[in-house]
Amino acid sequence: MEIEYQNIKVIGFDADDTLWVNETYFREAEIAFCELMSDYETPNKTDQELFQMVIKNLPLYGYGVKAFALSMVEMALEISNYNVTQKTIESILKIAKDMLKKPVELLDGVEEVLKELSKKYRLILATKGDLLDQERKLEKSGLTDYFHHIEVMSDKKHANYSKLLNHLDIKPSEFLMIGNSLKSDILPLVQLNAHAIHVPFHTTWAHEQVSEKETNGKTYKTISSLRELLNLLK
pLDDT (tens digit per residue) in 110-133: 999 999 999 999 999 999 888 899
Domain ranges in the chain with CATH number 3.40.50.1000: 10-20+104-232
Q: How far apart are CA 70 and CA 117, in angstroms?
A: 39
Tell which wins on pLDDT, 130 or 149.
Answer: 149
Percent of the chain whose pLDDT exceeds 70: 92
Residue 64, Ramachandran bin (φ over 0: left; ψ between -120 and 50: alpha; else beta): left
Q: Which secondary structure element, helix H or strand E, spans residue 11, and what is its range? A: strand 10-13
Fold annotation for 23-100? DNA polymerase; domain 1 (1.10.150)
Domain ranges in the chain with CATH number 1.10.150.240: 23-100
Cβ atoms 178, 201 nearer than 8 A: no
pLDDT (tens digit per residue) in 65-106: 999 999 999 999 999 999 999 999 999 999 999 999 999 999
Q: How far apart are CA 192 and CA 182, in angstroms?
A: 14
pTM over 0.85: yes
Q: How confident is the model at residue 9 (pLDDT cuts 50, 70, 90)?
A: very high
CATH architecture of 10-20+104-232: 3-Layer(aba) Sandwich (3.40)
In single-letter form, the type of residue at position 42 comes to: T
Q: How far apart are CA 111 and CA 73, in angstroms?
A: 37
